[in-house]
Amino acid sequence: MDGGRAFKNPFPEFDGSGVPTLDKDDKLQGDYQRHVLLAIERLLKVLNQNTENDCKDFSVYTGSAGQALLYLHLHNSLPAVQDNKHLQKALALLTPCLSRLKGVKYSFLCGDPGPLAVAAVAFDKLGDKTKSKEFVARVESFCDAVCNDASLPDEVLYGRSGYLSALLFLQHYLGQACIQGQTVIKVVEAVLASGQKLAKRDRCKHPLMYEWHEKPYLGAAHGLAGIYFMLLQVKEPTLQEQIRQLIRPCIDYMMTLRFASGNCPSSLGSVGQDKLVHWCHGAPGWAPLFVQGYKIYKDKRYIEAAKQCAEVVWQRGLLQKGYGLCHGTAGNAYTFISLYKLTGNEKYLYYAYKFAEWCFDYGQHGCHNADTPYSLFEGMAGTIYFLVDMLSPTKAAFPTFEFDS
């Protein structure tokens, strides 16, 4: 184990063999597909017995809306299921909460926009465009509060970038025009202004700096990697040039902070502590930024940094914390999927499938028990989401985080 945080990777190093086969539509086939489908079926049976239609936790992160997002994903990804049972399950999980939202939290993962956005897409899939538009409007209604609340952070889990991710999610599923251009513009301008203000205060050489609880976090959930990555996925034409000019020197700054191992620190205060290999803190949350940076700027240094992240995840990414998305094996596996989609290198498909094989044996490795064991980001729902994505790896994307793929 890696300092008690990760299991030793038991899988053979890639030698060109054992690569999952894909059909002409880039879908997994043969025994590789069969094993994934069997794991999904088995885990889904357990999950179905442990979903609760209540409002104790309605969030996408750890609550019913996250499970609903999984069922929406099942509907989108398993066309062999002809009826709408997965959509109906999603709405059954969402409905008790939709009329009881309090309007005090604004991020996709932990606030009201999460269940509202998932509901908007679910109703659109059912053909109820009127209800879908109603929920989109409710998501947009938070815009002024998000932009004007000086106490609101800018990070992904709780802050403005988390609200932006809800807007990008809706645009991804419903089309760019579903969100008013001014809504996206206002939010992005608020995030940029906040980052420029802090960078000026701290006399940073890079133009955008952010803090969470007065601490300079760097990872995907609370820090710079998540904020920069979310901004780079904005497609609003009037914003793209400005965003790209501001973000490039920020990525260059991030490049200087990496550990010699290829891993990435969780905060400026932990630059000497090469410990965490999670999506929330560490290389798995930085890799999407480097991949996106390479796609936009064509700087080979960024793709090399992403590849180094992948090797760290391969060596240290089978986490004792469990199999989930935020700080678990499934979330880490998306590092490999991002690189496979970008490079076509079969090594990364091999890596991803081996992490899927680890998840086939869910609960048998002695991992820690999650506080919310059936949730999307900490528990079983997230693992199932990843396994479903493995069926069509070129279309896979980390839920609520990757939209420009």
The secondary structure of the chain in percent helix, strand, coil, rounded to multiples of 5, reads 55, 0, 40
CA distance 45 to 5: 29
CA distance 115 to 248: 33
In contact, 207 and 254? CB cutoff 8 Å? no
To the question of whether residue 264 is assigned a binding role by annotation, the answer is no
Question: Was 281 annotated as part of a binding site?
Answer: no
Place of tokens 């199999």: 323
The one-character DSSP state at 141 is T
Q: Annotation-wise, does 206 bind a ligand?
A: no
DSSP state letters, 46-111: HHHTT---SSS---TTTSHHHHHHHHHHHHHH-TT--SSHHHHHHHHHHHHHHTS--S----TTTS
Q: Tell me, rounded to whole angstroms, the distance of Cα 8 from its chain centroid.
A: 25
- Binding residue numbers: 280, 326-327
- Binding residue numbers for Zn(2+): 280, 326-327
